[in-house]
Structure 1
Amino acid sequence: MEIQTESEQTAEIIVTVTLTEDDENPYLDRSYKRLVTRLKVPGFRPGKAPKSIVESMVGRIGLVNEAIEFMIPESLDQALRDNDISAFAEPHIELLGMEPTQYKATVPLEPIVTLGNTDEINIEREPVSITEEQVDEVLDRVRNEQASWEPVERPIEYSDLLNINVKGIIDDELVIDDSEIDFMPIEDSVLPFPGFAPNLIGHSETESLEFEITIPEDYARKEYAGKQCAFEVEILSVKEKNLPEIDDEFAKSIGEGFDTIEDFKSNVMEQLTTEADSQAALKLQEDSLNKLVEISDIQASNLLYEREVDSLRREREQALSNQQVDIETYLAYMGKSPEEFTEELEQSANERLNRFLVLKQFSSDEAIEVTEEDVQTEIDNMLKSYDESDETRERMESFFNTESTKDSIRSSMFNRKVLERLVELTEASSTDNSSAEKNTEVSDSNE
């Protein structure tokens, strides 16, 4: 086996392998055993024709073709071992010839990541401050959720709740035929078509309406764009939202043990503060990681970046497929060209891979690991919310103790520990820098 190596990138090596007949023969013996069971050879029972007869029928090239799928990966593994080359990811193979068998393998090597100095990361945790306005927003949201709908005897207004029968006809085709449906007229609503809701305003319960609207030229469903739709609407009922007063009775009605509205407000303030603290911590992790990536030097095979783009593309297409949307429809809706979509994928994929490589190197430098005891402690903590005699606890305990779930928990804990350690170093650096600046100011003032 003749092996030639060349390196065009620091983190990549190109290996060209040429196999001699002696190298090929063991693989061709295996391809013969596969072929002979499928070939019908006159004068021989199935699977009994000798190799020489089979080779005369399909030629040596036929045997090589049959062997390619296992001959190349196995011989490449041997070539890499013989040359002490460790592949970081699956090599890219290019077949160069078959007489003799020759191929070129582009082999990604372990990326070289030189981390920046975390002392240079000067990012502070954003202070958390919850305002009365934020608390009032939560109260208003809960108030709306607790509201009841009451019948009214007045003309329809926006945001009322209607119950209607509606038919819509376009080009003599009945495209809408709904009975006793609830409908809330919103001024800018595009349902069922733009301009439908305003035609209901000012009318009353029991009225029957007939009107036409022109569907906009830029309407998403092209078969209806620019056409006239004739509507017949029967208004069955009109209701308005009855909002409760925000008082002690309102607090009690929530059902969480609040006796007064002040108790409820205090609870809301506490929850908002907890959420804001959590968001501030996540933002600090994100900003710290982004800064570390920015100040680090990463040398990785282009092949890794290309595959990351392909992987991200498959993920996006699968997500769209789950929503029964194809990529062409999505791009048309977003107003993007395939080239713009690819450019966005490349940027996102490059960022994702760089973050992974930096975190991998950082975790190695910091000797961060997650032990089996760590995983079990995490599982025990998650099970604490279930009563010992609860059947659900038994099911969850069985679920948590599967290997796949443990692996997922281990991965999540590992990422969390890595980011927490990074933030720990970042905050320490920020504190030191802040202290140094204060000392400098004091020194200057003394002078």
Structure 2
Amino acid sequence: MQVSVENTSALERRMTIGVPAERIEAEVNKRLQQTARNAKIPGFRPGKVPMSVIRQRYEADARQEALGNVIQASFYEAVVEQKLNPAGAPAVEPKVFEKGKDLEYIATFEVFPEFEVGAFDSIEVERLSADVADSDLDNMLEVLRKQNVRYEQVERAAQTEDQLNIDFVGKIEGEEFSGGSASGTQLVLGSGRMIPGFEDGLVGAKAGEEKVLNLNFPEDYQNLELAGKAAEFTVTVNSVSEAKLPELDEAFFGQFGIKETGLDGFRAEVRKNMERELRQAIKAKIKNQVMDGLVSTNPIEVPKALLDNEVDRLRVQAVQQFGGNIKPDQLPAELFTEQAKRRVVLGLIVAEVVKQNELKPDEARVRELIQEMASAYQEPEQVVSWYYKNDEQLNEVRSVVLEEQVVDTVLQKAKVTDKAVSYEEAVKPAEAAQAD
């Protein structure tokens, strides 16, 4: 077998492969002999059909199959011989495909980029530390109470945080517009559900009262047909209800599966959950900084085949998440290109860090992570057992742990500064923190 390789770009390879005709014919003959043993042709007993008849009927198909197999096998042999690592399937272009002649074809494909991950010492990481203070716990209890709020009707003027039941009709230039009217809508004043001025305009209204609100849609309103336009809303207030927060009692605790422990036991359980959330938030922020640093300090070229595959995966995920009567390939690739590129780059870099440092999942950390995740459930032992009985789920946890070990490896050489912050700042999502 003859092989020659041409580098047509940083990652693309154009490989010409020649296979002796004898190998093709041997593969064709093998297939014809297999066919002859089972062929059922009128006038002949099974297994007794003359080879000339077999060739006449089946050689074309046998040769097509043989060529496909030989190309696949010879391509694999060639990349092993040339020490190449293809990043996707090759595009095959025949040069000589004639019977009795040596097979010659060109395989064009991309290879994985070759690089060494380095410059860990130039990566800067801010490592946050925080504690769950009693005031943080008190705030969380109030949040939980508000999430379980109920409303009771009152005979007074509406105040902020009251819930109103309203009917309204919206008009632009005297004409009703699509989506501008509703009946029996529940609206909590101050929730920010409606456009600016709508909820404020209902403060002080009473049940049975009608209010006319002259407002403007924001310039950046999501419905471009309404953005920036003036509108008149006629609102009828059907009822006014005030918020009633639940008491911190056994009935309330029972909603969270915590019974017969009293307030102290409930506070202890909530604190434990907050501490778990805190650890996860800090760990995630450190990981994001490390991954950002790896990407910025290790620029690599991405094989198009890998990028296309990742875009397709993101398309499928988007359709699964948002539903709708749309096929994944109908979503523009451009929507996912940047995210896909980052994921591919990170995948390549993380794999290289694992390879260079000979990392393997620490099974003790795997069990520790599973136990921590299981602690959020009422019967953690069953959750732990479930993970260890499901190889697919267990391997996912191993992958997470391996990524954590990559982060630890980078942190050993990175420029790490420690910063003590409040619980709220530590758990705040990175996007919100940047916006502030």
Check whether TM > 0.5.
yes
Change (3 A) 1:183 1:52: farther
Q: Is the 8 A contact 2:314 2:340 kept in 1?
A: no
Q: Is the 8 A contact 2:314 2:336 kept in 1?
A: no
Give 1:313-324 correspondences, 5 Å limit.
313-322=311-320, 323-324=322-323
Aligned residue in 2 for 1:444: none
Give 1:81-100 correspondences, 5 Å limit.
81=80, 83-97=81-95, 99-100=97-98
Aligned residue in 2 for 1:16: 16
1:324 deviates by 1.6
Q: Is the 8 A contact 1:95 1:102 kept in 2?
A: no
1:423 deviates by 1.7
Give me the whole-angstrom Cα distance separating, in 2, the residues matched to 1:377 and 1:297.
34
Change (3 A) 1:165 1:296: closer
Name which of 385, 410, 417 aligns with 2:398: 410
Give the SS at the match of 1:96.
Answer: strand
Question: Which residue identity lines up with residue 320 of structure 1 in the other structure?
Answer: A
1:40 deviates by 9.2
Give me the whole-angstrom Cα distance separating, in 1, the residues matched to 2:185 and 2:29.
72
Give me the whole-angstrom Cα distance separating, in 2, the residues matched to 1:422 and 1:111.
21
Give me the whole-angstrom Cα distance separating, in 2, the residues matched to 1:326 and 1:403.
34
Give the SS at the match of 1:125.
Answer: strand
Aligned residue in 2 for 1:147: 149
Question: Which residue identity lines up with residue 401 of structure 1 in the other structure?
Answer: K
Give 1:351-370 correspondences, 5 Å limit.
351-370=342-361
Q: Is the 8 A contact 1:16 1:104 kept in 2?
A: yes
Give me the whole-angstrom Cα distance separating, in 2, the residues matched to 1:384 and 1:195.
45
1:241 deviates by 1.4
Give me the whole-angstrom Cα distance separating, in 1, the residues matched to 2:326 and 2:370.
40
Aligned residue in 1 for 2:70: 71
Give me the whole-angstrom Cα distance separating, in 2, the residues matched to 1:156 and 1:359.
57
In the TM superposition, what whole-angstrom CA distance separates every residue of 1:148-185 from its partner, at most 9, and x where no partner exists?
311112466676445689999xx9xxx99999875657
Give me the whole-angstrom Cα distance separating, in 2, the residues matched to 1:290 and 1:178.
47
Larger proportion of helix: 1
Give the SS at the match of 1:113.
Answer: coil
Aligned residue in 2 for 1:308: 306
Aligned positions, number: 403
Give me the whole-angstrom Cα distance separating, in 2, the residues matched to 1:385 and 1:268.
11
1:412 deviates by 1.8
Question: Which residue identity lines up with residue 403 of structure 1 in the other structure?
Answer: D
Give me the whole-angstrom Cα distance separating, in 1, the residues matched to 2:129 and 2:164.
46
1:190 deviates by 6.5
Aligned residue in 1 for 2:426: none
Change (3 A) 1:183 1:69: farther
Question: Which residue identity lines up with residue 19 of structure 1 in the other structure?
Answer: V
Q: Is the 8 A contact 1:115 1:297 kept in 2?
A: no
Change (3 A) 1:187 1:425: closer
In the TM superposition, what whole-angstrom CA distance separates every residue of 1:108-163 from its partner, at most 9, and x where no partner exists?
54532222232333434246488999777545523423533111124666764456
Residues 417-426 or 250-259, more deviating: 250-259
Q: Is the 8 A contact 1:87 1:107 kept in 2?
A: no
Give the SS at the match of 1:414.
Answer: helix
Q: Is the 8 A contact 2:24 2:67 kept in 1?
A: no
- Give the unaligned 5+ runs of structure 2: 212-216, 228-232, 254-260, 419-436
Give the SS at the match of 2:323.
Answer: coil
Change (3 A) 1:167 1:282: closer
Give me the whole-angstrom Cα distance separating, in 2, the residues matched to 1:181 and 1:38.
74
Question: Which residue identity lines up with residue 418 of structure 1 in the other structure?
Answer: V
1:102 deviates by 3.6
Aligned residue in 2 for 1:325: 324
Question: Which residue identity lines up with residue 152 of structure 2 in the other structure?
Answer: E
Change (3 A) 1:272 1:370: closer
Aligned residue in 2 for 1:435: none
1:379 deviates by 5.3
In the TM superposition, what whole-angstrom CA distance separates every residue of 1:271-295 from its partner, at most 9, and x where no partner exists?
7676455434432332233223322
Q: Is the 8 A contact 1:386 1:393 kept in 2?
A: no
In the TM superposition, what whole-angstrom CA distance separates every residue of 1:52-104 from its partner, at most 9, and x where no partner exists?
445545774x54434454332122223334x2535354442323246234432
Residues 101-110 or 323-332, more deviating: 323-332
In the TM superposition, what whole-angstrom CA distance separates every residue of 1:359-410 from its partner, at most 9, and x where no partner exists?
22222333322255665666577668889xx7x7457514423322332222
Q: Is the 8 A contact 1:41 1:49 kept in 2?
A: yes
Aligned residue in 1 for 2:422: none
Give the SS at the match of 2:125.
Answer: coil
Task: Provide TM-score, normalisation by structure 1.
Answer: 0.63
Q: Is the 8 A contact 1:252 1:259 kept in 2?
A: no
Residues 410-419 or 91-100, more deviating: 91-100
Question: Which residue identity lines up with residue 155 of structure 2 in the other structure?
Answer: E
Give the SS at the match of 1:78.
Answer: helix
Aligned residue in 1 for 2:27: 27
Change (3 A) 1:324 1:38: farther
Task: Provide TM-score, normalisation by structure 2.
Answer: 0.65
Give me the whole-angstrom Cα distance separating, in 2, the residues matched to 1:278 and 1:65.
56
For the aligned residue pairs, the C-alpha RMSD in angstroms reads 5.8
Give me the whole-angstrom Cα distance separating, in 2, the residues matched to 1:411 and 1:2.
41
Aligned residue in 2 for 1:111: 113
Q: Is the 8 A contact 1:164 1:180 kept in 2?
A: yes
Question: Which residue identity lines up with residue 425 of structure 1 in the other structure?
Answer: K
Aligned residue in 2 for 1:349: 340
Q: Is the 8 A contact 1:160 1:238 kept in 2?
A: yes
Give me the whole-angstrom Cα distance separating, in 2, the residues matched to 1:269 and 1:85.
56
Give the SS at the match of 1:114.
Answer: coil
Q: Is the 8 A contact 2:160 2:189 kept in 1?
A: yes
Question: Which residue identity lines up with residue 423 of structure 1 in the other structure?
Answer: L
Give me the whole-angstrom Cα distance separating, in 1, the residues matched to 2:15 and 2:25.
22
Give me the whole-angstrom Cα distance separating, in 2, the residues matched to 1:314 and 1:181.
40
Change (3 A) 1:164 1:115: closer
Change (3 A) 1:327 1:137: farther
Give me the whole-angstrom Cα distance separating, in 2, the residues matched to 1:104 and 1:2.
12
